[in-house]
Amino acid sequence: MKRFSTALFLLLLATSLGAAPISVQQAQNAATRFLNSNFSRTKAPASQLNLVWSDAGMETKSGTVIKEATFYVFNVSEGNGFIVVSGDDDVYPILGYSTRQSFQTTSIPSNVKAWFEGYQQQINWIREAKPAVSPATKDAWTALERGDLLLKSQSNLLNTALWNQTAPYNNLCPTVSGEKTPTGCVATALAIVMRYHEWPDVGEGSHSYTTQTYQLPLSATFNTNYDWINMPLSYVSGQYTDQEASNVATLMYDCGVMSDMDYAPDNSGALTITAAQGLVNYMKYDKSLQVLLRELYTEDEWDEIMKNEIDNNRPVVYGGENDQKEGHQFVLDGYNADNYYHINWGWGGLANGYFLLDVLNPEQQGTGGNSGGGFSIGQNAIIGLKKAESSSLYQDILGYQAGEDGGVQYNGISTDDPIVANSNFTVSFGIIFNFSIREFNGDIAVALVDNNDNIKEIISDIESTSIPIYYGIAGSIPCLISGPLSPDDKLCAVFRSSDATDWQKIRNGSDTAGEIEVSDPTTNETIEQEKAVSVIYTATGNVEISSPVEILAISIYDMDGRLLKKQQANNDFTISLPIGTSGKGVYIIEVSTAKGTSTHKVIKNK
């Protein structure tokens, strides 16, 4: 398990769905049709599929009992794989599958459990909110009924190691209360990817720290000659040597120490950002690598980035976290043309297979980032893993996060002033977070850009600033447009690192505005802006909601997707209402306005 030390960033994913439960028999029939349509074996009757997992009757972390299964897992007979079927026909039907081994319910890895909880939360929300069903989801169920939901050609699957977190991998990990601690999923994912690259030849430097939970003083010197050839891709009991065991245990321990792993008997956790820094500082990986947050990218952008990594023989260290800041790390090492990604969970091959990264359809994604119910695991990825190159530069990432600073609510870039050429106005922006693997040092400014995001003019003073990792800044800046305007022009905040020459746009997610659009500059009318809805949890226990357009309705959900309250509005621009008697925790506020629906996260702390 990994833990983020700063703000909790939940992914707000697009939805495509509605609400109609699928019975066990219907799910089994769907799994049979999918199996028979796509895999070259004799036609299998439904009796050859065995239900091994269903969450019907299970209790969620908030104490809610799931009345109808959100999804099912069926094993194919004779260990020939498993199929994960949605429990609702308004969700894409097949959530995941494997053709290699059965799904073992007696030892479900913690990161698989967390991933499944993400599926549960999304589907529960879909059942409560009843958003529109996408054509792609309807078509998939129709094709499955006909028996012709066919998978497209599959990309080459990268051959990554089937390693685990226990012996022999944790032979050098510290002991707590007489028990060897696990390596941790972050260390295991890093080690699997490093074994694929067979790099470094030898590490460099050293590192010492004290673990957080048990205050264990640990250190490592990384001048090890890593004997990659003598680290088997799979360690089978009785089939590896003591030296091979020592080799992989050394690698795992080094990965843990360089990541400041918090070792504990049940699970060991580390920060993704610290692990990424360790790869550069101690393992001679290129400093241009990045840790990307999925919420700052559209669905198409994200898929393009992930597939490009795999196409270029770079398995992706991938991770996520839920509303409890409980996280996990694993490896993406393949994909197919239907946007299923092959996941190596880092549990000796257990549960490896092809999975959807979320159950929500990409057709409904917004252009500024993922949007929707907010119940998916917050996902991130380390990309650009390669041997260090002397000419490389760090690749900084700045992105907006909605929040309050100095009593002011920020939701990206905005202005309240009329905007015309050759006239002064003020632009506010925030909160701008540094998601780079180093402290950001450089410049921030406001730019006038064309429809293709080409900069036409820097229209503000250039502000030099420093932002520590995972910290943010906010503020306002005077602007003046001196050149001519075109109807497709936009305003956006941009940044330039101190060791770079090019300006880059500050990225935004679904709950922040990344740009201000020009409506009709020829008549000197005010530029229309994509202002985001503001949702704030106040000290009085109320949720304060404000919108630039009329509010039609407000819905409040808990993190299990259960609808707690729905209130109609009378075309108001501001509304205040209590969450209710529910306890502390994370809640999702869905705001329906005259221009659409947005979802927001609030944290109730009393």
What's the domain count of the chain?
A: 3
513 shares a domain with 405: yes
pLDDT, position 374:
42
pLDDT, position 556:
82
Report the CATH number that the domain containing residue 595 is assigned in CATH.
2.60.40.1220
Mean pLDDT along residues 433-445? 98
With contact defined as beta carbons under 8 Å apart, do 169 and 184 qualify? no
Of the ranges 141-150, 514-523, 565-574, the best mean pLDDT one: 141-150
90-148 residue pLDDT tens: 899 999 999 888 999 887 888 888 888 888 888 888 888 777 787 888 888 998 888 88
Residue 377: pLDDT over 80: no
> Helices (DSSP H) in 63-151: which residue ranges?
110-129, 135-146
Looking at 290-304, 356-370, 451-465, 539-553, which range is the least confident one? Answer: 356-370
Q: Is residue 455 part of a domain?
A: yes
Query: Which residue would you say has higher pLDDT here, 154 or 40?
Result: 154
Of 490, 523, 556, which residue constitutes the final position of a domain? 523
Mean pLDDT along residues 240-250? 98
Question: In 448-464, which positions are buried (b, 16+ CB within 10 angstroms) versus exposed (e)?
Answer: bbeeeeebbbbbbeeee
Whole-number Å distance between alpha carbons of 433 and 175: 37
pLDDT, position 4:
30
Work out the mean pLDDT of the chain and round it to a whole number: 85
Residue 309: pLDDT over 50: yes
Mean pLDDT along residues 6-11? 29
Residue 498: pLDDT over 80: yes
Report the CATH number that the domain containing residue 403 is assigned in CATH.
2.60.40
Q: Is residue 437 part of a domain?
A: yes
Q: Is residue 253 part of a domain?
A: yes
pLDDT, position 538:
75
Residue 240: pLDDT over 60: yes
Q: Is residue 342 part of a domain?
A: no
Residue 31: pLDDT over 90: yes
Whole-number Å distance between alpha carbons of 257 and 184: 11
Whole-number Å distance between alpha carbons of 157 and 533: 43
Residue 338: pLDDT over 60: yes
CB atoms inside a 10 Å sphere around CB 502: 8
Query: Which residue would you say has higher pLDDT here, 228 or 3?
Result: 228
Residue 367: pLDDT over 60: no
Q: How confident is the model at residue 373 (pLDDT cuts 50, 70, 90)?
A: very low
Query: Which residue would you say has higher pLDDT here, 126 or 263?
Result: 263
561 shares a domain with 517: no
Residue 375: pLDDT over 90: no
Of 498, 523, 548, which residue constitutes the final position of a domain? 523
Mean pLDDT along residues 476-485? 92
Q: Is residue 105 part of a domain?
A: no
Please report, for residues 66, 74, 211, the alpha-carbon distance to residue 119 in angstroms, rounded to integers and kept in the order given: 13, 16, 32
Q: C-alpha angle with apex 320: 263 to 232, nearest 5 degrees?
A: 60
Whole-number Å distance between alpha carbons of 364 and 401: 21
Q: What are phi and psi of 145, to 5 degrees?
A: -60, -35
263 shares a domain with 196: yes
Residue 527: pLDDT over 70: no
DSSP summary character for residue 174: P
559 shares a domain with 458: no
Whole-number Å distance between alpha carbons of 70 and 50: 17
Q: How confident is the model at residue 380 (pLDDT cuts 50, 70, 90)?
A: very high
270 shares a domain with 237: yes
DSSP summary character for residue 402: -
Query: Which residue would you say has higher pLDDT here, 566 or 476?
Result: 476
Residue 3: pLDDT over 50: no
Six-digit token string for 112: 């698989």
Q: How confident is the model at residue 16 (pLDDT cuts 50, 70, 90)?
A: very low
pLDDT, position 595:
74
Supply the pTM of this predicted model: 0.83
Residue 509: pLDDT over 90: no
Q: How confident is the model at residue 20 (pLDDT cuts 50, 70, 90)?
A: confident
Q: How confident is the model at residue 198 (pLDDT cuts 50, 70, 90)?
A: very high
pLDDT, position 533:
76
Q: Is residue 344 part of a domain?
A: no
Q: What is the dihedral of CA 190, 196, 200, 201, to 10 degrees?
A: 140
Q: Output the CA torsion sign for 59, 61, 63, 65.
A: negative
pLDDT, position 365:
32
550 shares a domain with 517: no
Q: What DSSP line would sit under 342-361, residue for residue?
A: EEE-SSTTTT-EEE-S-SS-
Six-digit token string for 38: 């796509």
Of 282, 314, 343, which residue constitutes the final position of a domain? 282
CB atoms inside a 10 Å sphere around CB 368: 22
Helix (H, G, I), strand (E, B) or coil at 524: coil
558 shares a domain with 494: no
Mean pLDDT along residues 175-193? 97
Q: How confident is the model at residue 325 (pLDDT cuts 50, 70, 90)?
A: low
For residue 180, what is the enclosing H or E element?
Answer: strand 179-180
504 shares a domain with 406: yes
Q: Is residue 275 part of a domain?
A: yes
Report the CATH number that the domain containing residue 186 is assigned in CATH.
3.30.910.30
556 shares a domain with 503: no
pLDDT, position 590:
82
Mean pLDDT along residues 270-292? 97
Q: How confident is the model at residue 577 (pLDDT cuts 50, 70, 90)?
A: confident
Mean pLDDT along residues 241-265? 98
Q: Which residue range is the domain that position 594 belongs to?
A: 534-604
Which residue in this structure is represented by tokens 């209360």? Answer: 177
Contacts of 456 (CB under 8 A, 6+ apart): 447, 448, 449, 450, 483, 489
Residue 585: pLDDT over 50: yes
Q: At what angle do helices 185-197 and 242-258 cross, to 10 degrees?
A: 120
Q: Is residue 556 part of a domain?
A: yes
552 shares a domain with 489: no
Q: How confident is the model at residue 196 (pLDDT cuts 50, 70, 90)?
A: very high
pLDDT, position 372:
38
Q: How confident is the model at residue 369 (pLDDT cuts 50, 70, 90)?
A: very low
Whole-number Å distance between alpha carbons of 566 and 553: 7
How many Cα atoms are found within 13 Å in the side-chain-facing hemisphere of 198? Answer: 8
477 shares a domain with 557: no
409 shares a domain with 513: yes
Query: Which residue would you say has higher pLDDT here, 126 or 317?
Result: 317
Q: How confident is the model at residue 362 (pLDDT cuts 50, 70, 90)?
A: very low
399-428 residue pLDDT tens: 999 888 888 889 999 998 888 888 899 999
Whole-number Å distance between alpha carbons of 83 and 49: 9
